[in-house]
Structure 1
Amino acid sequence: MSFIYNLGIHLTHFTLKCIALFNEKIKKGVIGRQNTFEVLKSNLSENDKTLWFHCASLGEYEQGLPVFKELRKYYKSHKIVLSFFSPSGYEIRKNSPISDIVVYLPLDTQKNAKQFLDIVNPELTIFVKYDIWPNFLNELKHRKLQAILISAAFRKNQSYFKFYGRELKNALFAFDYIFTQNEITKALLSSIGYNNVSISGDTRFDRVFSQLDLDNNLSFIESFKDDKLCVVAGSTWPEDEKLLVNYINSKAKKDIKFIIAPHNIKTTQIKNLQESLKVSTVLYSQKDDVSINEAQVFIIDTIGILTKIYSYADIAYVGGAMGSTGLHNTLEPAVFGIPVIIGGNYKKFPEAKAMIRNGGMFSISNQKELDTMLTQLVDNDSLRLDSGNKNKVFIGENKGAVIQIIDYLRI
């Protein structure tokens, strides 16, 4: 392993400890990593059979979840270790029902990799998408432990395919097999000589499609909606909320209901959002104390219920693409057969580009375009229903990745 790479990891460790003094999120990760080995040792014995699932953050967890659930059925006697790199994944899913032990992944040093695998010794390891850690993967390969990568999605400008990315590129060869989301990723892997690969598609389609079989009822949302047309804006950022607030304050009909679920639910931001609205509003945290059906805007100042809320939407707006933070999950509302509006920064999201081409999703870049698009979807029932149905069909046509992966792994 490159001296420069390992030096960089140690420098990263030092930097994170410094930043943690001023950043609560980074602090959680630093403290959590310090406790990883103690947690593993106290929950695993030498006789335990294990599986190891690794996800960078919450998005990758949701992506891998349908595969994890299936494997839980096949490996009933195994203990499942689930690791996260990011606090945003660990803190939300530290009590995940599909795993026995949830930990932070230690930083990718040779020492940490050996100690981690000495304790866990997984019969099977699954990494999701592209969170590649060379020391861990090379140690897996050295020990001849099976590892696969699922829902892989690479771009040609990433380090794996550059002359300076030798360590990352070599780490890919530690995987026994790679399941890709698309042909582009398969071709990129072929260009570096990796050929144990097939295109399975994105497991997120399976994940969101399964939501249709769950109980999505939320009685308080039903009371708020009151049989009126409802626009749900999910995972919004201030740049999204500015446009939405302007529309609600000046353009929206009084009988249209709006639900806004901000990505950041800090008290100050929620307060600013509520105060910027000139119509009647209610917060999730206040729902038991007021008549929520009398409000026009429902602000969700909690987490974990957005997917179910989408089932009540007639139109969805998904945040993240009006700025540079990254578009949030557009498949979650699309599966319920509703049209979706997003900002203009979606070029790295193939599912968004596909739904736009299909006519089920609409991209806007400014206030005028949002006003026009929302008004058209509200007033034109045929457009709203037809574009929503196109999204539902698109989801159904693209599910099936889980079956391919499980077939490969089937005992």
Structure 2
Amino acid sequence: MDIIYNIGIKATQLALKCTALFNQKINLGVKGRANTFHNLKKNIKTTDQTLWFHCASLGEYEQGLPVFKKLREYYITHKIILSFFSPSGYEIRKNSPIADIVVYLPIDTKTNAQRFLNIVNPELTVFVKYDIWPNFLNELKTRQLRAILISAAFRKNQIYFQLYGKPLRKALFAFEHIFTQNEGSKTLLESINYTRVTVSGDTRFDRVFSQLEMDNTLNFIDEFKDNKTCIVSGSTWPEDENLFIDFINSPASKNVKFIIAPHTVKANQIQSLQEKLNTEVVLFSNKDKKNLKHAQVFILDTIGLLTKVYKYADIAYVGGAMGNTGLHNTLEPAVFGVPIIIGNHYEKFPEAKALIENGGMFSISNQIEFNHILSILIENQENRQQLGLKNLTYIKNNKGAVVQILDYLLKL
């Protein structure tokens, strides 16, 4: 099976290079990986002490960030190497202040793993959630280098728990400790005789709660909102935006402000959205030329502001669950104590299930349901404040994973 895995990795490497000719995102990854070893050699001396943090993409980076920050404070003389597999993580966080060096993770071949660790030689490695690479992890274990996995979430149908999943299952045992999000994940690990596990919860709760300690003020959003009821729609796809187009173009939207943050900010898609709205619209990119108070809709044709913008929401909508792209982060608006609406495809998102059960989140499957729920929330300020408080309470009750992880690491 190890041979099959390594053949598969080689085939994947070739397929990525071929696909890169036609796909800009994949091309970024292929080119970035080609520079990884040069960047490492250039910036790491043999005398340097190092830590290695690895994330699949941007979401895992945000998940691991509270732990990364604390380790940065503790290991002040160490160089920190941060690696990503996906361009959507690397390209956005390649200048992350918590790392000294940010690189693409090389493809998981034995040669790459050996070469990478010969240069980096980390005193501690932290993987986040699920990006399990057998050759890298087995090489860490062979060299007796410390590695942990945090915010892990496993499902019964994953390859680690199947008869044919030996290579990946073996890789899990390279971690000296695994911190899981839930009891179910711990039970699955114990079913394969992995016992060095702690249910610490999801570090994302710590991450989003820390947002309340930051300055989230955006003066231009203050001006736009103008003390009116404001609905923030975050990380939307066309199927999400269609719901808002219908509602905004109806009489029900009178005296309500809307902020839409599309997942994709390509100019042609932003223009298409703007043209479908029968009201005054302002874009982030031309906000300085507009009277913001007169506009009813503000479109964020930029990235990086959504977490702050949620502060201004009276009601939030989170995209991704009306289609099959995957529900985006619902904890970011929840921490600001607002009720949330999502689509009906949220089966793989336990936090969404919990927020719905707690009563602060609503799932809709069509325009009629969307209009109904949104109208009720708009009309009753006291009710929506009570519902939003349920979401904030859920965040408060589930934070604390970072403390458990650091207690383990720093007591050894």
Q: Give the TM interval when normalised to the shorter protein.
A: over 0.9
1:295 aligns with 295
Map 1:54-69 onto structure 2 (within 5 A): 54-69=54-69
Indicate the residue corresponding to 1:97 in structure 2.
97
Structure 1 segment 121-140 matched on structure 2, within 5 A: 121-140=121-140
Question: Which SS does the other structure have where 2:303 is aligned?
Answer: coil
Cα distance in 2 for residues equivalent to 1:304 and 1:382: 31
Aligned twin of 2:401: 401
Matches within 5 A, 1:232-247: 232-247=232-247
Q: String of CA shifts for 1:12-68, please: whole Å, max 9, x gaps.
A: 011011110011000000000000000000000000000000000000000000000
Match of 2:391 in 1: 391
Q: Secondary structure of 1:252's partner?
A: helix
Q: Secondary structure at the match of 1:107?
A: coil
Cα shift readout 1:125-171 (whole Å, capped 9, x = no counterpart) = 00000000000000000000000000000100111111111111110
User: Aligned in 2, Cα 1:161/1:251: closer, same or farther, shift over 3 Å?
Assistant: farther
Q: Which residue of 2 aligns with 1:277?
A: 277
Alignment partners' CA distance in 1, 2:324 and 2:176: 35
Cα separation, 1, equivalents of 2:196 and 2:153: 15
Aligned position for 1:153: 153
Is residue 11 from structure 1 mapped to residue 14 from structure 2 by the alignment?
Answer: no
Matched with 1:176 is 176
CA drift of 1:382 comes to 2.5
| Superposition TM-score, scaled by structure 1 size | 0.99
Q: Which runs of 5+ in 2 are unaligned?
A: none
Q: Does the 8 A contact of 2:146 with 2:175 survive in 1?
A: yes
Distance in 2, Cα, partners of 1:17 & 1:72: 35
The answer on whether the counterparts of 1:251 and 1:371 sit within 8 Å (CA) in structure 2 is no
Looking at structure 2, the residues matched to 54 and 129 of structure 1 have their Cα atoms a distance apart, in angstroms, of 10
Q: Which residue of 2 aligns with 1:339?
A: 339
Does the CA-based 8 Å contact 2:247-2:253 persist in structure 1? no
- Report the 3-state secondary structure (helix = DSSP H, G, I; strand = E; otherwise coil) of the residue aligned with 1:235: strand
Matched, 1:198 2:198: yes
- Give 1:251 shift: 4.4
What is the correspondence of 1:303-322 to structure 2 with a 5 Å cutoff?
303-322=303-322
Query: Which amino acid in structure 1 is aligned with residue 176 of structure 2?
Result: D
Are the equivalent residues in 2 in contact too, given 1:254–1:296 (CA < 8 A)? no
In structure 1, the partner of 2:120 is: 120
Per the alignment, in what secondary structure is the counterpart of residue 289 of structure 2?
coil
Where structure 1 has 5 or more consecutive residues not aligned to the other structure, the ranges are: none
Q: Does the aligned pair in 2 maintain the 1:229–1:255 contact within 8 Å?
A: yes
SS in 2 for 1:125: strand
Q: Matches of 1:252 and 1:181 in 2, distance apart?
A: 41
Measure how far apart 1:244 and its partner are.
1.1
Aligned residues of 1:339 and 1:387 also touching (Cα < 8 A): yes
Other-structure match for 1:254 = 254
CA distance in 2, matches of 1:153, 1:286: 42
In 2: Cα distance, 1:307 partner to 1:184 partner: 30
Q: Does 1:378 align with 2:381?
A: no
Percent identity over the alignment is: 68
RMSD: 0.7
TM-score under structure 2 length normalisation: 0.99
Encode CA deviations 1:245-288: one digit per residue, 9 max, x unaligned. Answer: 11111143321000000000011110111011111100000001
